[in-house]
Structure 1
Amino acid sequence: MKKYLPILKNSPFFKGLTDNEIISILHCVNATTIYRKRGSYIFRAGDSTEVMGLVVSGCVLVMQEDLWGHRNILSKCHAGDFFGEPYAASPGAVLNVSVAADEDCEIIFLNVQRLLVSCPTACEHHQKLIRNLVSVLANKILILNDKITHVGKRTTRDKLLSYLSAESIRQSSLSFDIPFDRQQLADYLCIDRAAMSTEISKLQKDGFIKTNRKHFELIVSAFR
């Protein structure tokens, strides 16, 4: 596990903890590592889990799927990001999301239930870890709230502009890369890909944006 320390130290879950404390915590929460190939599932809707996942290489998609293959992407997790924490913290909760590898990836599973009971080793950093977990859960709520804001817009153009504006603000730049390819972006915003591509072309023609694959540039003067 020591080889993952550079990533773990930058994770909000381990904020304020030393290397030795992190190693101790990994033992406390029964940390295990798994490997998944691109396209394979890590969690499936209908499962229950006592562990949350921490991505240490590659990336995963958290999504909802129906029987006809339609996807609603909730988030994309890269190295240092967590997934499954709300379900792992709720004993018996059934997942209504699936998690699949978008790239070949390595995942560390952490048993959250070990945090919610008295620590068997009485470690001094137990309470700090619980506070960090609360912060991680709160951040996940904010991420989902952003998605609700975007998909709540009435038109495809408004959904796109809402998302791109939020990304620009989050990255503090009018020129930025997004984490999604075109199909994933359509699935995230819950819109038809063809309609989205048409609207992106119109936004470029009207001078609102410039784009090349995952890169976007917003032209602020065009909105005035």
Structure 2
Amino acid sequence: MSEDSPIQIDALTETEVLYLDFDPLLLQQENGCPYRMRVTANLLREMGKGALFLNQKMRILAQNRLRNRIKVYLQGLPIASNGEIRLEMGRGEMADYLCVDRSALSRELGRMQKEGILTYQGQVVHILDSEFLSA
């Protein structure tokens, strides 16, 4: 049974589309393909990553203050023992991800630096106030 997808993708160049029927992967079959479990595991892993990404994004966008959005974003990144966090994106990309204006993001990071919460240089942030991320 075929259903129309609510997702539409426009290709910028000539593209070949591969349609996959996932029913055989999800249905129990005695004489299935030996790679079925690997493909199923990979599919579920990618779906899980997507769900985690969307959950994190919802947590960020639910914050009513920019400082709280920054905090939730930083909490989701690995922190080195010296308090260093390497950002996954540049300032413009981070502003887009947090759904804020780039200048507002820069202004708030500057305030946080003046208040002794963090310092930043490019894509490296040092957390100075360990309480900031724990609350």
Is residue 113 from structure 1 mapped to residue 20 from structure 2 by the alignment?
yes
Q: Which has the higher contact order (CA 8 A, sep 6+)?
A: 1
Match of 2:65 in 1: 155
Any residues of structure 2 matched to 1:181-220 within 5 Å, and which?
181-220=90-129
Could you list the per-position Cα deviations for residues 109-147 of structure 1 after superposition, in whole angstroms to 9, with x for gaps in the alignment? 9946154447xxx52121332133112202210111011
Map residues 1-224 of structure 1 onto 2, 5 A cutoff. Answer: 92-95=4-7, 111=18, 113-117=20-24, 122-167=32-77, 171-173=78-80, 174-221=83-130, 223=132
Unaligned ranges ≥5, structure 2: 26-31
Instruction: Kindly tell me the number of residue pairs found equivalent between the two proteins.
Output: 123
Instruction: Give the alignment's TM-score, normalised by structure 2.
Output: 0.73
Shift of 1:221: 4.2
Using the size of structure 1 for normalisation, the TM-score is: 0.47
Identity of aligned residues (%): 22
- Which of the pair has more CA radius of gyration? 2
Correspondence for 1:59: none
| Structure 1 position 97, deviation (Å) | 7.5
State the secondary structure of the residue aligned to 1:113.
Answer: coil
| Contact residue 208 and residue 218 of structure 1 kept, 8 A | yes
Higher strand share: 1
Cα gap change, 1:128 to 1:220, in 2 (>3 Å): same
Q: Structure 1, residues 39-74: CA drift from partner, whole Å, max 9, x if none?
A: xxxxxxxxxxxxxxxxxxxxxxxxxxxxxxxxxxxx
Bigger mean CA offset, 127-136 vs 203-212: 127-136
Q: Which is helix-richer, 1 or 2?
A: 2
